[in-house]
Amino acid sequence: MPDDDTPRSNTPEPKLVCRNLWKVFGTKPETWFKDQDALRDPASLAERMRDDGLIPAAVDVNFEVAQGEIFVIMGLSGSGKSTVLRCLSRLVEPTYGEVLLDGEDLLRKSARELIEIRRHKMGMVFQNFGLMPHLNVIENVTFPLALQGMPEKERRKRVENVISLVGLEGREDSYPHQLSGGQQQRVGIARSLAVEPDLWLLDEPFSALDPMIRRQMQDEFLHIQSTLKKSIIFITHDFLEALRIADRIMLMRDGMVVQIGSPVDLITDPADSYVAEFTRDVPLVRVMTAADALAPGGAQETPEGLPEVDSTATLEDLLPQMAGRHDSVIVRKGDRVIGQVTPESLIDALAKRTKAHDAAMDEDGSEIAKETA
């Protein structure tokens, strides 16, 4: 699990900024954005659009992605995840808003500039791989380079290490239909990395794979990221997947952002019942870390000679160590001791978070009851 003690989103220059982004499908959606006042209440504006037969797929979306961060977008099917992602690359033309990549507004770029940006700064991976059926593995991977007119020898050299990074050596001459789903997605990943992009977009890259392969691919993905350190936007609707890879998660519903936060925040401090529902099946002990269950008092009064754990250890790891003991466990972060976990503090932390979670679910339950009344 990535360390989120020093939130990267606080670094001065975010890689990507998305401000007040709207995408409305339908006829003449621009006319709705003339009135600046209406924009202050995006929810009701979107409602009125729906009543008028338009489809607001992204509604006033705001977020930032830091350098090297893995930013995960989640939400139910149809909640607008893919739309937001495609707006960022302008595969879908946003209706309103701003997208800044390295501080430059993408939406102002001409078609030509956009092609240059796609050729050097962005890579994208697709749910169903999007491979060219008529090209073999190496031709697929080098396709973006071929489009730039790079000679064949040089192309092959450029992608040598990408091919080995995704483990496709020896399959260079196969055609997509001769590969398994996992292998095909490796090709998709390799192709998206061929241009050495800074911003890496992945739209449910592992959803079409079966669970075993999916897990393996997640591991490889994390391995790739640990060597390449890209800025990543990753869509999934598998919360456990998000949990494994995300620095931060953005949850969407009906085109709107419901909550942005670390995985633990989402579970332990859900904004509403929708979020709570989403995270309901995740066992708290797997998400919360030793750092989340520190006893009050901090690092001062820690006795000597107790077992020590790292601050990123999950409570699940901690439990066997605590079993049958009445004293505590020392928590370290690097060389520094940051506190201790006692049996009471552990139970307190779990109880507090569970209560918050249940409260969020109840709150909306009563709201629904009110509505139906």
Partner 1 sequence: MTEIRRWVSGGSAWAVLIALTLVLLLQRDALPWAIRFPDGWAVPLTPWLNAGMNWVIDSFGIYFRAFSDQLSVLMRWIRDGINSLPWAAIVALVAFMAYAVSGWKLAVFSFAAMFYMVLIGFWTEAMNSLALVALSVPMAVIIGFFTGALGFASDRADRIIRPTMDMMQTIPAFAYLLPILLLFGFGPVVGLIASLLYAVPPMVRNTTMGLGAVNSEVIEAGSMSGATRRQLFWRVRVPSAMRQILLGVNQTTMAAFSMVIIASIIGGTADIGWEVLKSIRRAEFGESLLLGLVIAFMAMVMDRLTAQIARRDTSGPEALEWARPRVLWLSALVLAIAITALAQVLPFLKTYPAAWEFYPAGRLNSAVQYIVTEFTVTINYIKQVAFFFVMLPVKMGLEKTITPFSWGFAFTDTLKIGYAVAVLALAALSWQRRSWRAAALVIFFGMLLFVGITGMPWPALIAMATLLAYQTGGRRLALGMLAGLGFLLLAGVWEEAMLSIYLCGLAVLFCFLIGGALGVLAAEFDSVSAALRPFNDTLQTMPLFVILIPFVMIFKIGEFTALLAIIAYAIVPSIRYTEHGIRSVSKEVIEAATASGCTPLQLLWRVKLPLAAPVILLGLNQTIMYAIAMLVIAALVGTSDLGQLVYIGLGDGDFGVGIVAGVGMAIIAMLADRMTQAMGGRPK
Ligand X SMILES: Nc1ncnc2c1ncn2[C@@H]1O[C@H](COP(=O)(O)OP(=O)(O)OP(=O)(O)O)[C@@H](O)[C@H]1O
* Residues lying near ligand X in the complex (CB under 6 A): 25, 55, 57, 75, 77-83, 237
Contact criterion met (CB below 8 Å) for 252 and 75: yes
Least distance (Å) between residue 164 CB and partner 1: 21
SS3 per residue for 242-294: HHHHCCEEEEEECCEEEEEECHHHHHHCCCCHHHHHHHCCCCHHHHCEHHHHC
Q: Rule CB under 8 A: say whether 128 interacts with partner 1.
A: yes
Which of 12, 133, 305, 324 forms a contact with partner 1 (CB under 8 A)?
133
Q: Which is nearer to ligand X, 109 or 237 (CB)?
A: 237
Which of 15, 118, 155, 248 forms a contact with partner 1 (CB under 8 A)?
118
Binding positions for Mg ion, rule: CB under 5 A: 82
Q: Which is nearer to ligand X, 128 or 216 (CB)?
A: 128
Q: Which is nearer to partner 1, 58 or 346 (CB)?
A: 58
**Would you give the end-to-end CA distance of the chain in angstroms?**
44
Q: Looking at 1-9, 24-32, 134-142, 238-246, which segment touches partner 1 (CB under 8 A)?
A: 134-142
Q: Which is nearer to partner 1, 16 or 266 (CB)?
A: 16
Q: Which is nearer to partner 1, 177 or 326 (CB)?
A: 177
| Phi, psi (degrees; rounded to nearest 5) at 126 | -110, 155
Dihedral, CA atoms, 153, 156, 157, 158, nearest 10 degrees? 120
Q: Rule CB under 8 A: say whether 152 interacts with partner 1.
A: no
Ranked by CB distance to Mg ion, the top (closest) residue is: 82
Q: CA 281, 285, 290, 292 torsion: positive or negative?
A: positive
Which of 80, 123, 182, 339 forms a contact with partner 1 (CB under 8 A)?
123
Q: Binders of partner 1 among 185-244, rule CB under 8 A?
A: 188, 191-192, 195
For 116-139, b where at least 16 C-beta lie within 10 A, e where not — what string?
ebbeeebbbbbbebbbeeebbbbb
Residue 95 to residues 61, 83, 107, 149, 256: CA-CA distances in angstroms?
Answer: 12, 11, 10, 33, 15
Conformational region of residue 75, where left means phi above 0, alpha means psi within -120 to 50, and beta covers everything else? left
Which of 178, 180, 216, 366 forms a contact with partner 1 (CB under 8 A)?
178
Q: Which is nearer to partner 1, 202 or 287 (CB)?
A: 202
Contact criterion met (CB below 8 Å) for 53 and 25: no
| Contacts with partner 1, residue ranges (CB under 8 A) | 86, 89, 91, 111, 115-116, 118-120, 122-124, 126-136, 143-144, 147-148, 175, 177-178, 188, 191-192, 195
